[in-house]
Amino acid sequence: MRILGLSAYYHDAAAALLSDGDLVTTVTEEIFTRKKHDASFPARAVAYCLEQGGITARDLDHVVFYEDTRLKFDRLLASIVSTAPRSLPQFVRAIPQWLGDKLWTERNIRRDLGYDGKLHVVEHHASHAASAFLCSPFEEAAILTVDGVGEWATATMGVGRGPSISIQREIRFPHSLGLLYSAFTHYLGFKVNSAEYKVMGLAPYGEPTFDAQFREIIDVAEDGSFRLDMKYFRYHYALDMTHPRLHALFGGPPRRDDEPLTQRHKDIAASLQRVVDTVMVRLARALHRETGLTKLCLAGGVALNCVANGHILRETPMKELFIQPAASDAGGALGAALYAQHALLGQPRSFTFRNPFLGPSYTDEEIETYLRSVGATYEKLSREDLLETTAKLIEEQHVIGWFQGKMEWGPRALGARSILGDARSASMRDTINLKIKFREGFRPFAPTVLAEHVSAWFELDCESPYMLLVAQVRPSHRTIPAVTHVDGSARVQSIERSMNPLYYDLVETFHRRTGTPIIINTSFNVRGEPIVMSPQHAHECFMRTDMDDLILGSFWLKKSAQKALPHIVRGDGAFAPD
């Protein structure tokens, strides 16, 4: 039985292919189109999935879409009617899009896919719940999904047992923790549905001095349910997010992206993060009280808030968390396929998500063909020499582009498409942020740490393979300033050899050389672009930044030995016109 899951038309379009209950692969559209958060029909992602499965669309038994667009349209119409005439601008913009294209999702899928077989629609938060539980290692677990909005639900609480999922209660639009976070992402001058993680990174630089203002706009019950005072928001009827009343309450208009970040902005971010932490902790505690379960599966965009996830582990009776690496809408493609496989078709569970390396890969022959075509200067290394050379370069304070094997699934680099550096260097964070990533200097980096050393270096007693938990660096090991945030925390990625032998061996080689089982790991891209997918993407990113070295498969490229490429502009992260 072959099932294709799809997510599209909002952000982070993706495809996932199951064959007889096992995952063949899942990828996002953005890695192929190079358009960050690409929402279009995932034609290239589908083509990759079908190629990996050795099939065509005609061989599919079922296709499943990750949300019910008719219910979503009902919610849009209800919101427009209930807020008229203020909603007229939203009506003018949205209704033609829906009547012209969005409302006919099933027709569009059949047309774009060339498919006339069985087509299913799964509600948005059911897809999220399935993406969390049905590929988890748990036979039974509580399930919590929190995001902006699906059809009507913005958060759901439920239980998974065997192949079934039961949603027990939900919070409904317009009351949304995800949209609250996005509203303040906009207010603080960042891009909605793209830069929420910047707000999370900014928060530790502030103090939660705006708690009183947040109590004015959100009421949080003891069980984690909440209501927003909608007079402070406009996202439910207008084309922007926040009302002037909110601007007055928080001391000024929204920050423009070219304005400096002040302490007020940092304090607002800190206060917002406290609200998110409080809601998520109370929801998890309530789920434990209601179910008696100590295993929790999380999904939805808010599940990528690794600070809140850390609070759940430390402050609730939940003892084990499972969050697959693409917890936001991209993961809905996987969730929709799993929901169809188990909840709709009644098939027993047979798949546990362990391997995030599911994307395209390239052989040394393919890489060398590309390098020769652009006249690159390189040296081919044996596996042992590659590990020793790379570890030595990191030890010598070089910034390394690392491109190996199959690409990661999800928004965070996990050791296949990574930029690496020495976590012990106090200056390395600024170097990578400003000269390689071209991004804000306050942004933290994650440490990759050998799994057997996690608890010795961090206040964390479980694995964190997908970089989704924040923990404090132990005071006895505050020798890694490049990955230690201003509040003493770090976004931990633990690595086991079974998951990625080459990357594990690199960190182990660095450990043997330096006594530190940790290196910096950040995504191989510049601001505004998806993570690199191909040798060409990696090489061009390397050439237009101040990276020192590129390890591309078995090949070592020194920046000092390269000739400039005529179509590359150095230093600003942008391509020159052809």
The verdict on whether omega for the bond into residue 85 sits within 30 degrees of 0, i.e. cis, is: yes
CB 551 within 8 Å of CB 404: yes
DSSP string, 74-89: HHHHHHHHHHTTTTHH
Of all helices (H) and strands (E), which one includes residue 5? strand 2-7
| Overall average pLDDT of the 408-421 stretch | 97
Share the mean pLDDT of the chain.
94
Cα distances (Å, whole numbers) of residue 128 to 48, 67, 321: 23, 10, 15
Determine phi and psi for 555, rounding to 5 degrees.
Answer: -110, 140
> What is the rounded CA–CA span in Å between residue 123 and residue 128?
9
268 φ/ψ sector (left φ>0, alpha ψ -120 to 50, else beta): alpha
Over residues 157-169, the pLDDT tens digits come to 999 999 999 999 9
All structural domains of the chain, each given as residue ranges with its CATH number in brackets, are 2-66+68-121+329-344 (3.30.420.40), 177-322 (3.30.420.40), 364-561 (3.90.870.20)
| Overall average pLDDT of the 71-93 stretch | 94
Q: Tokens in use for 181?
A: 């976070």
Q: Tokens in use for 423?
A: 């976590």
Give 247's strand partners: none
Which amino acid makes up residue 411? P
Dihedral of CA atoms 569, 575, 576, 578 in degrees, nearest 10, equals 130
Between 174 and 478, residue with greater pLDDT: 174
Over residues 293-329, the pLDDT tens digits come to 999 999 999 999 999 999 999 999 999 999 999 999 9
> What is the rounded CA–CA span in Å between residue 126 and residue 344?
12
- Give the whole-number percent of the chain exceeding pLDDT 90: 90
Over residues 24-62, the pLDDT tens digits come to 999 999 999 999 999 999 999 999 999 999 999 999 999
Predicted local distance difference test score (pLDDT) of residue 569? 57
Determine phi and psi for 93, rounding to 5 degrees.
Answer: -80, -45
Of all helices (H) and strands (E), which one includes residue 252? none
Predicted local distance difference test score (pLDDT) of residue 102? 85
For the four alpha carbons of 534, 536, 537 and 542, in that order, the dihedral sign comes to positive
- pLDDT of 573 > 80? The answer is no
Confidence grade of residue 507 (pLDDT, cut at 50, 70, 90): very high
Give 137's strand partners: none
Predicted local distance difference test score (pLDDT) of residue 443? 77
Cα distances (Å, whole numbers) of residue 382 to 417, 427, 510, 539: 20, 31, 17, 20
Nearest-Å Rg of the Cα atoms of the chain is 23
- pLDDT of 69 > 70? The answer is yes
E-state strands within 122-265? 140-146, 153-161, 164-172, 218-220, 226-228
Q: Tokens in use for 5?
A: 């899951």
Least confident interval from 89-98, 366-375, 466-475, 488-497: 89-98
> How distant is the alpha carbon of residue 325 from its chain centre?
7
- Give the whole-number percent of the chain exceeding pLDDT 70: 98
- pLDDT of 399 > 70? The answer is yes
Q: Tokens in use for 20?
A: 């007889």
CB 469 within 8 Å of CB 310: yes
Q: Tokens in use for 88?
A: 């007229």
pTM attached to this predicted model:
0.95
How much helix, strand and coil, in percent to the nearest 5, is found in the chain?
A: 40, 20, 40
DSSP string, 27-78: EETHHHH--TT--S--HHHHHHHHHHHT--GGG-SEEEESS-HHHHHHHHHH
Beta carbons within 8 Å of 434's beta carbon, 6+ residues apart = 441
Cα distances (Å, whole numbers) of residue 419 to 162, 232, 354, 414: 39, 41, 23, 10
Predicted local distance difference test score (pLDDT) of residue 577? 26
Between 364 and 443, residue with greater pLDDT: 364
Confidence grade of residue 75 (pLDDT, cut at 50, 70, 90): very high
Confidence grade of residue 564 (pLDDT, cut at 50, 70, 90): confident
Three-class DSSP category at 468: coil
Determine phi and psi for 525, rounding to 5 degrees.
Answer: -170, 175
